[in-house]
Structure 1
Amino acid sequence: MAERLSQIQNFLQQYQADSQMQYTALCGDASFRRYWRVQSGAQHWMLMDAPPVAADCLRFIAVAQALADAGLRVPKVLQAEPAAGLVLLEDLGDDLLQFSLTQDNMQHWYRQALALLPLQQQVRHTAEGPLPEFDRAFVLRELQIFADWFLPVHLQLRTDSATQALLDSTFNLIADEVLAQPQAGMHRDFHSRNLMILPDQSLAVIDFQDAVVGPVSYDAVSLLRDCYLRWPDADVALLRDEFYQGLQQQRLLPADYTHAQFRRAFDWTGLQRHIKVCGIFARLYHRDHKAGYLADLPRVIGYVIEIAKQYPELSAFSQWFEQVVLPRFAEVSA
């Protein structure tokens, strides 16, 4: 740790020589990255400290520039040493959208957030090349996290051949639906913890480095069916429908892509995300010793149950989930 701090200090001295700097560690996210607030007198910056994998930092920098060029407000990159895994960023403060949301103001803020997505959807390339495709292999790989971590590790449920066949068929159905919709640039983790309120009351986007090209509904359902917040179904439906209408008015969807098709895509894409997140939260707890996400699992599971039971194609999965997964989840959560 001392060696890393020395490396960080040397990096910062290149940006602000002969300054006394103070470092404050900030709460990390669900990734391997760490963040520090760096202060020198009245000036302050954010330091992203990632394992020294140059490609990851280069990707972050390239995506940040592409999003800024598209008109999104993102932290400015002030200095970078990709080989060391260090990036100095503009400090946008601490005002995460999550902590300002109420039932009374959520529609205002969510309309503002959804209005950013057409800009995000323009971004399919960066200076490093095309964004990765959220293709079938990607979709199935994410769903497999549920089968690898939530079932056998968190719930300690063994998967027999019949259950495996059910999961395989369900995951392939979900992949079909996710990939059938129009594709666009996608943030992949667009929600209330990754949006910041700026002093002028506009929103900035953070944690964008995993951007891909994928389903047009993904970021909207990630926001509206947030893993960390739950809103009334009527509000979600209203904002979802307004988002669809806005995309049509801006001609960002095929003219023949119907409202009903979008609603279905929204549901199935959200289902893919929430099944994956069950596995992600389990992995964060058991592998990475981050227990805070366990409190959000009931909400995520609730989304899975509610959507699965609405579609006849998912009846077998829905029945298995309610009869096998839910009772076991209640036992391990007691």
Structure 2
Amino acid sequence: MAIILTEKTIMQRQNELKNWLASQFPNRPFELTFAAADADYRRYFRATFNDGSTLICMDAPPEKMRESVANYLKVRDLFSHLNVPQIIAQDLDLGFVVLNDLGDMQYLKALQQYPDNLEAHKMLLLEAIDVLIELQKASQPNVLPEYDREILLREINLFPDWFVKHELGKNLTFKQKQLWEQGIAALLPVIEAQPKVYVHRDFIVRNLMFTGSRVGVLDFQDALYGAISYDLVSLLRDAFIEWEEEFVLDLVIRYWEKARAADLPVPANFDEFYRWFEFMGVQRHLKVAGIFARLWYRDGKDKYKPEIPRFLNYLRRTTRRYHELAPLYALLLELVGDEELETGYTF
């Protein structure tokens, strides 16, 4: 079971952060305001100094986040060719890190400011795709841990373990387990056969910052070396914003063209690459539906649960297109039916 931080603990951490910051920046009064929180225990604050300058302060309780913060620092150095936060100060024993401020304009917020302007969306997403190409071009084997079958399976199994069991209150029957196993047996080889690159692993519009110049990239501590289509799926099949499939297809084509021009290992045939993209998406959608259910039922975090239907819709649309994935489609019909479920932002 997860340990949930109490309000008292949160306030203690905030006071400790203020005292530590004061020691790092003596004679520089500041005001500390909440900036953001991750799905895990990490929280971010903005320190605003008297001269108007700002810094971002990461609060990552060391008893829960030490390894994650160490990974953050390692991957930050690896991704330093991108516009990632610079480290101003750190204390891993306390679990505090000070970063430069990339602003408060998430890509999600920027996109939602233009709800009826798909050309603006396309322009912003193409800039994000350029950053993704830049990230992938720097890839080298044996630097990041491999996104291997064990991890892929562990993530996929979050779906029956948390969504089916806790959200639906069911256990898979013997027949349903057979459908599940047949579907996963068809899914994984297509993912594992893809060339590997650096995978941010959460390359989503909430982790990209619109800065007015280079796109800022955040929350990269879980990066691995894995399938080339993964981050593109993360970007274009998001939890909090959704586009029509024709729009997504156009952007996948744009990525594929840019990747070929950059000599990245994508196939010469676009149809093959799109199949990679779709199969990778099924793996990720199963994982995210499970994670969002776990965040509610285990951790008491309700922000993500309303977005689960979006991923069920993604899953049904994709699995019914490929006869190899027919067992997963049949299973989904038994579990949640065939009607599209209502979600939030759709463009």
Partner of 1:96: 106
Residue type of the partner of 1:238? D
1:66 equivalent to 2:81? Answer no
CA drift at 1:62: 1.6
Deviations 1:288-326 (A, max 9, x none): 211121221121111000000001011122122123223
Gaps of 5+ in 1: none
1:44 equivalent to 2:54? Answer yes
1:110 equivalent to 2:101? Answer no
Residue type of the partner of 2:48? Q
Partner of 2:297: 286
Preserved contact between residue 292 and residue 308 of structure 2 (Cα < 8 Å): yes
CA drift at 1:148: 0.8
CA drift at 1:9: 2.8
Relative to structure 2, which stretch is displaced further, 280-289 or 320-329? 320-329
**Residue 132 of structure 1 aligns to a residue in which SS?**
coil
Match of 2:94 among 84, 94, 102: 84
Relative to structure 2, which stretch is displaced further, 110-119 or 10-19? 10-19
CA drift at 1:124: 4.5
Preserved contact between residue 316 and residue 338 of structure 2 (Cα < 8 Å): no
Instruction: Give the Cα–Cα distance (whole angstroms) in 2 for the partners of residues 84 and 168 of structure 1.
Output: 44
Between the aligned residues of both structures, percent identity stands at: 31
Match of 1:306 among 314, 317, 331: 317
Of Structure 1 and Structure 2, the greater helix share is in: 1
TM-score by length of 1: 0.91
Superposition pairs of residues 131-170 of structure 1, within 5 angstroms = 131-170=144-183
Partner of 2:3: none
Instruction: Give the Cα–Cα distance (whole angstroms) in 2 for the partners of residues 173 and 10 of structure 1.
Output: 54
Preserved contact between residue 124 and residue 131 of structure 1 (Cα < 8 Å): no
Superposition pairs of residues 106-255 of structure 1, within 5 angstroms = 106-124=121-139, 130-200=143-213, 202-253=214-265
CA drift at 1:86: 1.1
Deviations 1:3-38 (A, max 9, x none): 433432342133211332322123312222111111
Partner of 2:345: none
Preserved contact between residue 285 and residue 315 of structure 2 (Cα < 8 Å): yes
Shift of the 3–228 alpha-carbon distance from structure 1 to 2, 3 Å rule, reads closer
Relative to structure 2, which stretch is displaced further, 259-268 or 321-330? 321-330
**Residue 116 of structure 1 aligns to a residue in which SS?**
helix
Preserved contact between residue 199 and residue 228 of structure 2 (Cα < 8 Å): yes
Preserved contact between residue 74 and residue 206 of structure 1 (Cα < 8 Å): yes
Preserved contact between residue 133 and residue 258 of structure 2 (Cα < 8 Å): no
**Residue 230 of structure 1 aligns to a residue in which SS?**
coil
1:296 equivalent to 2:307? Answer yes
Q: How many residues align?
A: 324
RMSD (Å), alpha carbons: 2.1
**Residue 105 of structure 1 aligns to a residue in which SS?**
helix
Relative to structure 2, which stretch is displaced further, 264-273 or 168-177? 168-177
Preserved contact between residue 55 and residue 82 of structure 1 (Cα < 8 Å): no
Deviations 1:122-145 (A, max 9, x none): 45469xx82111110010000011
**Residue 45 of structure 1 aligns to a residue in which SS?**
strand
Shift of the 158–86 alpha-carbon distance from structure 1 to 2, 3 Å rule, reads same
Preserved contact between residue 66 and residue 125 of structure 1 (Cα < 8 Å): no
Residue type of the partner of 1:187? H
Preserved contact between residue 140 and residue 172 of structure 1 (Cα < 8 Å): no
**Residue 198 of structure 2 aligns to a residue in which SS?**
strand
Higher RCO (CA 8 Å, separation ≥ 6 residues): 2
Preserved contact between residue 154 and residue 282 of structure 1 (Cα < 8 Å): yes
Residue type of the partner of 2:105? D
TM-score by length of 2: 0.88
Preserved contact between residue 97 and residue 195 of structure 1 (Cα < 8 Å): yes
Instruction: Give the Cα–Cα distance (whole angstroms) in 2 for the partners of residues 81 and 125 of structure 1.
Output: 29
Preserved contact between residue 183 and residue 215 of structure 1 (Cα < 8 Å): yes
- 4+ aligned runs moved over 4 Å, structure 1: 123-126, 327-330
